[in-house]
A and B are shown apart, each in its own frame.
Chain A
Amino acid sequence: MAGKIVADQIEGTTTTETVDGASVTIPNVIDTKYVVNGSAKAWINLNGTGTIARRDSLNISGISDGGDGLTDVSLISAMGNNDYAALASGSFNDTASGSTSISTGCRSLATSSVRITMAGSSNNGLDCETVTMTIHGDFP
């Protein structure tokens, strides 16, 4: 059954905690605008090895393999500006050494695409078996 709840705030039961001997009331009210604006606007989980393939996603039109450790992600519903927050992570199962460190990052932020980079300990591009990324920000 379809429907919607219209509300400006969400409020829980008031709680108190003792901090440094003093009783403190814990804020438990939040405006729904913060909930809506704070939710992820796009996310993806993909396999960056072999022929790259996405496992699951939201608001993604396609992924573009640009070489070792380089993946572009394109958005369907574009962001309002280039100043959004994009966070990526990558994991790599190196059974040989088990010690590979990976640095991941997001760059070339555009309103409808972002580039994920993954590099190994010697700054070489590295394909990761599990790459995840989320975007938080405002829609236009």
Chain B
Amino acid sequence: MTVTPQFKGTHLFDRLCWAKENLDGVQSDYRVVFEDNVDACARILVPDPNWMACALQGGILPPVWVYHELAKDEAQPDFKKHTRGYLLHNTEPVDVMTEEEAIEYLIMKDCPQSVWTNWDEGNRPKMVICRKEQLPQTREWRNAWRISDDLELAA
């Protein structure tokens, strides 16, 4: 098994280049379907295989809170450029994750907070984690796809 070097303090991009060179991509079967706009169709998030390999390997990706901190900075009206980029590179990388933990991480990183903070509140769910084969097999009426009102959610 490939051993991850001690990456603390290493630029995140350098870590990703190491991972691409040394790790095989892992294509997850999980997909995240979410709705962040009532006027738009459902979006489908597909994890990147290289990213998933990093998550399963451990010691490469920064904690997800780092992205939230940077997002706060970017949301400031006078934002010009990131001044806390060191958070990405110098924060202790997260340890090995399971595939399910990785999907949770990815949701908190790449889905809007308005979706995942209260995904199951309201009249209908705003987000569903499913497997690839549970999605429609064709893209017919793709721009009208919504999460089913009749969905039975697992506890």
Contact = CB atoms under 8 A, between A and B. Distances in A.
Interface of A: 41, 49-54, 57-68, 72, 74, 76-78, 80-82, 110-113, 125, 127, 139-140
B11 A64 contact: no
User: Which bracket fits the contact residues of B?
Assistant: 35 or more
A62 B48 contact: yes
A102 to B, nearest CB: 17
Contacts of A82: 74, 79
Contact of B74 (A57, A60, A64, A111): A111
Contacts of B86: 140
Given A53-B46, A78-B85, A139-B85, A62 B51 contact: yes
Contacts, number: 111
Given A60-B48, A61-B48, A66 B16 contact: no
Contacts of B110: 61-62, 64, 74, 113
A96 to B, nearest CB: 17
B50 interface: yes
Given A81-B82, A140-B84, A58 B43 contact: no
A113 B74 CA distance: 12
Contacts of A67: 40-41, 43, 142-143, 145
A77 B16 contact: yes
B106 A68 contact: no
Interface of B: 11-13, 16-17, 20, 27, 31, 40-41, 43-51, 54, 61, 67, 70-71, 74, 79-86, 88, 106, 109-110, 132, 135, 138-139, 142-143, 145
Contact of A51 (B16, B88, B132): B132
B87 to A, nearest CB: 9
A4 B77 CA distance: 41
B51 A78 contact: no
28 contacts: A51-B31, A51-B44, A54-B48, A60-B51, A61-B47, A61-B51, A61-B109, A62-B110, A63-B46, A64-B46, A65-B46, A67-B43, A67-B142, A68-B139, A68-B142, A68-B143, A72-B43, A76-B51, A76-B54, A78-B67, A80-B85, A81-B82, A111-B70, A111-B74, A112-B70, A127-B142, A139-B13, A140-B85
